């Protein structure tokens, strides 16, 4: 069972069993503390019509006391039982400002006392902004009137945020569809003092491989707790009067989305039996359409548990069910044609379906050779005017992707190919379509006033680095025109296009000397207006020298990375270098050779960043490309390829005359896994820092990262890739750090615990740091400071100041 008290029990065990190992939190040098505590950029959230900007300033890092909030770990969710919402480290907004784009006039909003505002959401008409207001008693709905700049609570703290958004705007902008704590729910279930018997799981000879998940249900009591906290009552809430109108009966909702005409609701309900093997998203589900009276209009699908779905596939039956924007009540969804199994040979994998109310006679739109890619309204499928929809399919094995243009008004019309390319090829990436919100609040393509053009924003990757851009593309002939591109001496990205003519855009710009800030750009007059004025928290950062370095692996593959020099670097000086690594798999060597990064980014570390090492006399080779080439069998030579990539970088830095021969390595998650492998299989580095990694791949036997083979299909690969198997070969000092509440799939804290035991058993120099209450990433101010301080101390002790090592 996953009661929040278990956290304190586990913490107590740590104290009692190894009290001498409990240490106070460390603090890094003063410059690091100053940078970490400095204000950060606010979020800038435009109104649907682009005329008003909401500037939302977030609170800084939470404290460890904030992370000690009550926690339930159930069905893959993390729930705060005190608030009936998500367990979150977000501290809320501390300042809200409304800015008129045309006049520049700003209005500061008075915030309510005693609550944390979060989840800002504009109404479709742009007159109101809704927030979750979280206090000690729960979550309330708080709505800001844009015209007056004043807000008020609309409901008491009765919202239920355990399984997703608490409230969604109705198309009329007067009401919100909310999930409430059911009235009269009663007290939470109490844990039984005496079990009624053993917990038994069974499988009747059917293969049901699943990935490794965290926070799953483990007992009947867990099931009771999950059902108690996740069950919600749908209701329409009038944002002016606060009046509530219940809809249907309480249930566990994964989705509850109003139709564009506001007369129906698409709901996805979780039903029993619950699973102990997969998270709530894979529990049995009923996908239905309800009327506003709560009556069932149609059942689209009754989905069984996802336990039996192919581990590298999708569920059978309707999936990715969504309303079609611009139509009163039309649904689009996807169905697998190959049993959902990517490994099964098939000429066609998916089909896309369209169903008008009453949803009994769906029409097939297109059959896809590859797997349907991305969700609706972004990430692969985009809706436009006059029946336009763009659908994307991707073949994971070859990394090939296609995007098709369809006409919903003429379903029988042949689709038109828009893009046909390698998803790995960053140089030819056309960019992502720019979206906006329509009158009903749905995400749709932003098109030119005459409807002939759409807009694309992209990274602009090239051999010289990234130069983000904004293009427009003609829907008839596919021709593109460049409207704007970041200058060669800055790094500037489009964050919003504010009108259909793409005359005004919102960008975020930074240079080597200037921290990131937001700007409004008029593309016709070329006039720019600075919106935010974030100050440089440390003048030393402005002088940091950095450059894109390129070099070749022994087999001829071109590699690259961003080399940062110490803040006090002097020309001709040789310094210790820390590699911060994270490898990636590629199907082709050409794609693996492409340059990643931009040398014009401002150095402004946040969180437990490795870039703080720059203030302590280290150079950092950030994200050196360590490609593992070979598609689905790339990991057959993972060790050889990563070691070869690291050696090429070491040799190049020595030839540049920058490195003094003392190299360290570090990484987080898969980067930690790679750090341990580099120490086990080479002598390139003098010490390493591995954070929140997985070191024994037999504990993730049904695949990990991009490895789709199981342990039993690629036993030698799993063993060869596991640094745990080679703990006796790690002869350099290694610092292991892990959050005690890690919720990332596969990186259970036991991974670091067992690796530490193996290293210690073979006499390695190793330190294992467990961070109370921390998850996969580290959030609390005390934890972040401690991690940075320990990294600096570790590299200072084992890398810096040693005699120059021989050239590897």
Q: How far is CA 148 from the centre of its chain?
A: 35
As a whole number of angstroms, the distance between CA 100 and CA 123 comes to 17
As a whole number of angstroms, the distance between CA 808 and CA 803 comes to 14
Relative to beta strand 400-407, strand 453-458 is: unpaired
- CA 80, 84, 86, 92 torsion-angle sign: negative
Catalytic residue among 725, 745, 776, 796: 776
- CA 398, 402, 408, 413 torsion-angle sign: negative
CB 573 within 8 A of CB 549: no
CB 381 within 8 A of CB 433: no
What lies within 8 Å, CB to CB, of 803 at 6+ separation is none
Q: Please state, as a whole number, how many other Cβ atoms lie within 10 Å of the Cβ of residue 743.
A: 18
As a whole number of angstroms, the distance between CA 454 and CA 338 comes to 34
Q: What are the φ and ψ backbone dihedral angles of 717, each rounded to 5 degrees?
A: -65, -45
Strand partners, 486: none
| SS3 of residue 149 by DSSP | coil
Q: What are the φ and ψ backbone dihedral angles of 544, each rounded to 5 degrees?
A: -65, 125
CB 266 within 8 A of CB 289: yes
As a whole number of angstroms, the distance between CA 64 and CA 211 comes to 31
Catalytic residue among 669, 682, 692, 783: 669
Instruction: Note if 742 is an active site residue.
Output: yes
Residue whose C-alpha is closest to residue 645's, from 582, 550, 553, 558: 553
Place of tokens 């698409």: 266
Residues in the chain: 808
What lies within 8 Å, CB to CB, of 441 at 6+ separation is 48, 123, 124, 169, 171
As a whole number of angstroms, the distance between CA 180 and CA 696 comes to 43
Catalytic residue among 222, 471, 660, 742: 742
Active site residues: 669, 742, 776
């Amino acid at each position: 069972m996953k009661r929040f008290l278990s956290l304190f029990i586990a913490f107590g065990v740590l104290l009692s069993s190894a009290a001498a190992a409990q240490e106070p939190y460390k603090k890094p040098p003063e410059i690091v503390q100053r940078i970490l505590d400095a204000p950060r950029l606010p979020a800038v959230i435009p109104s649907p019509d682009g005329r008003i900007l909401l500037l939302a300033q977030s609170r800084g890092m939470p404290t460890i006391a904030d992370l000690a909030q009550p926690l339930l770990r159930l069905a893959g969710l993390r729930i705060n039982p005190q608030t009936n919402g998500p367990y979150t480290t977000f501290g809320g907004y501390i300042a809200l400002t409304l800015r008129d784009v045309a006049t520049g006039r700003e209005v500061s909003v008075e915030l309510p006392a005693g609550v944390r505002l979060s989840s800002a959401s504009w109404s479709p008409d742009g007159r109101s902004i809704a927030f979750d207001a979280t206090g000690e008693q729960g979550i309330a709905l708080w709505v800001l009137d844009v015209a007056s700049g004043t807000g008020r609570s609309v409901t008491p703290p009765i919202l239920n945020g355990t399984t997703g958004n608490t409230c969604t705007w109705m198309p009329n902008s007067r009401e919100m569809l909310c999930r409430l704590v059911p009235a009269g729910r009663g007290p939470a279930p109490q844990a039984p003092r005496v079990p009624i018997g053993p917990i038994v799981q069974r499988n009747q000879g059917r293969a049901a491989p699943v990935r490794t998940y965290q926070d799953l249900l483990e007992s009947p009591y867990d099931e009771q707790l999950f059902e108690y906290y996740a069950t919600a009552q749908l209701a329409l809430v009038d944002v002016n009067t606060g009046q509530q109108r219940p809809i249907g009966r309480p249930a566990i909702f994964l989705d509850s989305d109003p139709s564009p005409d506001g007369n129906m609701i698409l709901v996805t309900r979780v039903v029993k039996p619950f699973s102990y093997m997969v998270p709530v998203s894979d529990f049995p589900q009923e996908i239905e359409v309800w009327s506003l009276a709560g009556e069932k209009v149609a059942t689209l699908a009754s989905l069984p548990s996802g336990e039996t779905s192919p581990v590298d596939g999708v569920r059978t039956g309707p999936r990715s069910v969504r309303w079609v924007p611009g139509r009163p009540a039309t649904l689009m969804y996807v169905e697998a044609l190959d049993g959902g199994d990517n490994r099964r040979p098939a000429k066609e994998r998916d089909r896309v379906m369209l169903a008008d109310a009453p949803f009994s006679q769906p029409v097939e739109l297109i059959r896809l050779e590859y797997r349907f890619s991305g969700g609706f309204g972004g990430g692969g499928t985009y809706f436009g005017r006059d029946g336009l929809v763009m659908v994307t399919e991707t073949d994971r094995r070859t990394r090939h992707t296609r995007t098709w243009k369809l006409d919903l008004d003429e379903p029988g019309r042949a689709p038109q190919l828009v893009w046909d390319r390698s998803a790995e090829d960053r140089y030819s990436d056309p960019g992502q379509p720019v979206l906006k919100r329509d009158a009903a609040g749905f995400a749709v393509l932003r098109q030119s006033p005459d409807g002939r053009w759409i807009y694309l924003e992209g990274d602009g990757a090239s051999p010289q680095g990234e130069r983000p851009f904004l293009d427009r593309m003609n829907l008839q002939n596919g021709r593109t025109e460049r409207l704007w591109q970041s200058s060669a001496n800055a790094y500037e990205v489009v964050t919003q296009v504010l009108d259909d003519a793409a005359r005004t855009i919102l960008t975020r710009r930074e240079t080597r000397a200037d921290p990131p800030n937001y700007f409004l750009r008029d593309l016709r007059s070329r006039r720019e207006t600075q919106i935010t004025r974030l100050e440089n928290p440390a003048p030393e950062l402005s002088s940091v020298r950095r450059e894109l370095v390129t070099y070749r692996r022994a087999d001829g593959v071109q590699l690259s990375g961003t080399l940062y020099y110490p803040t006090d670097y002097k020309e001709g000086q040789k310094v210790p270098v820390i590699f911060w690594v994270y490898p990636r798999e590629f199907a082709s060597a050409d794609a693996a050779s492409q340059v990643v990064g931009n040398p014009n980014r401002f150095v402004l570390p946040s969180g437990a960043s490795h870039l703080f090492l720059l203030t302590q006399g280290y150079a950092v080779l950030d994200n050196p490309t360590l490609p593992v080439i070979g598609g689905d069998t790339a990991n057959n030579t993972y060790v050889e390829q990563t070691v070869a990539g690291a050696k090429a970088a070491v040799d190049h830095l020595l030839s540049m005359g920058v490195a003094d021969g003392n190299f360290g390595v570090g990484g987080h998650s898969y980067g930690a896994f790679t750090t341990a492998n580099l120490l086990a299989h080479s002598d390139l580095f003098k010490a390493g820092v591995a954070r929140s990694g997985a070191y024994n791949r037999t504990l993730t036997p049904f695949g990990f990262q991009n490895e789709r083979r199981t342990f039993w299909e690629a036993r030698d690969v799993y063993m060869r890739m596991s640094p745990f198997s080679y703990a006796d070969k790690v002869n350099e000092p290694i610092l292991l750090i892990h959050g005690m509440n890690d919720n990332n799939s596969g990186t259970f804290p036991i991974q670091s615990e067992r690796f530490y035991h193996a290293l210690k058993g073979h006499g390695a120099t190793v330190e294992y740091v467990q961070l109370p209450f921390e998850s996969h990433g580290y959030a609390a101010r005390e934890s972040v400071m401690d991690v940075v301080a320990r990294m600096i101390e570790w590299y200072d002790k084992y890398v810096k100041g040693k005699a120059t090592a021989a050239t590897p």
